[in-house]
Structure 1
Amino acid sequence: AEHKKAIEAMLLEYSQHPMGGAEAIPDDKLSKVVDELAKRPYAFSVLAFGDNGRVAGFANCFEGFSTFAAAALVNIHDLAVSKDFERQGVSQLLMSKVEEEARRRGAVKLTLEVLDGNSPAQAS
């Protein structure tokens, strides 16, 4: 239940940010997203928490397939850090944990799409 609330909180914050579309996810969608993700064995989320117990960031990932390598790949679909935790290495920690899970799943490739105007993400 704690992780569900943390993912929902991060999705809401991320959706309201210019990089996330600058529009809040409607409540009826937000309340279903974690349960829908849980139904998909190829989906996983990574959470980071601050010392104060508040959610600091998250990544939603999906396992896919590389036809050229004939092996799994992992795509980071959403990656965001809460405003209160920006520039504290949270994105690097999340990426490291995603990489660990990708390796555990036998993935040969990790992908992340970054918007053109997202220079902090491009720098990390």
Structure 2
Amino acid sequence: MSNTISDGIRICRADYANPRHATALVSLLDAYARDPMGGGEALSDFAKANVVSELAKLPYAFSLLAFDGEGDDAPVGLANCILGFSTFACKPLVNVHDLTVAAASRGRRIGERLLVEVERVARAHGACKITLEVLSNNPALRLYVRSGFAQYQLDPAAGQASFMQKWLD
């Protein structure tokens, strides 16, 4: 699956066995990790060396890459997604774990195009929803709202959900 828009941006599903795709994924993910919205620290050498092969082992993971041009020479966007399951809806869901656009390519609606493709894949899997987490000061929040995402809540009286984590050693 690959689609090219008239401005030369091509979105495709990453082939984890393709060295060019693997290099693009690691490069974009590392740039995202270095960005303040990704934590401001480079990926570890371990993550750089292993993230693609570990994703490839997961039948419920998929990644989308955006390239500027017909070849795989200029990677400009990445979406790493994980299929999950909504017990309340009793249907699959897709979590966008990482979404990033190269700094020099922002403002070209590449993130929007990646989300459109995520939605297409999610619908093909029969997913009931797409989830993601975003920092409150992330400029991409506008993109997510424009794309139909909203704060998660079951009942307004119960409040909005918070995303929490606990690191394990």
State whether structure 2 residue 100 is matched by structure 1 residue 72. Answer: no
Q: Deviations over 1:17-66 (max 9, x none)?
A: 00111000112221100100010001100110112730111010000000
Higher-helix-fraction structure: 1
Structure of greater Rg: 2
State whether structure 2 residue 80 is matched by structure 1 residue 60. Answer: yes
Give the whole-Å Cα distance in 2 for the aligned partners of 1:75 and 1:56.
Answer: 21
Gaps of 5+ in 1: none
Corresponding residue for 1:3? 21
Q: Deviations over 1:92-124 (max 9, x none)?
A: 010011111111111111011111110x21111
Number of aligned positions between the proteins = 123
Give the whole-Å Cα distance in 1 for the aligned partners of 2:86 and 2:44.
Answer: 34
Identity %: 47
**DSSP 3-state at the match of 2:78:** strand
State whether structure 2 residue 119 is matched by structure 1 residue 99. Answer: yes
Higher normalized contact order (CA 8 Å, seq sep 6+, divided by chain length): 1
What's the TM-score once normalised by structure 2's chain length? 0.71
Q: Deviations over 1:45-93 (max 9, x none)?
A: 0110112730111010000000111000000000000011100000001
Corresponding residue for 1:34? 52
Give the whole-Å Cα distance in 2 for the aligned partners of 1:29 and 1:122.
Answer: 27
TM-aligned CA deviation for residue 8 of structure 1: 0.4
Give the whole-Å Cα distance in 1 for the aligned partners of 2:49 and 2:29.
Answer: 11
Gaps of 5+ in 2: 1-18, 144-169
**DSSP 3-state at the match of 1:77:** strand
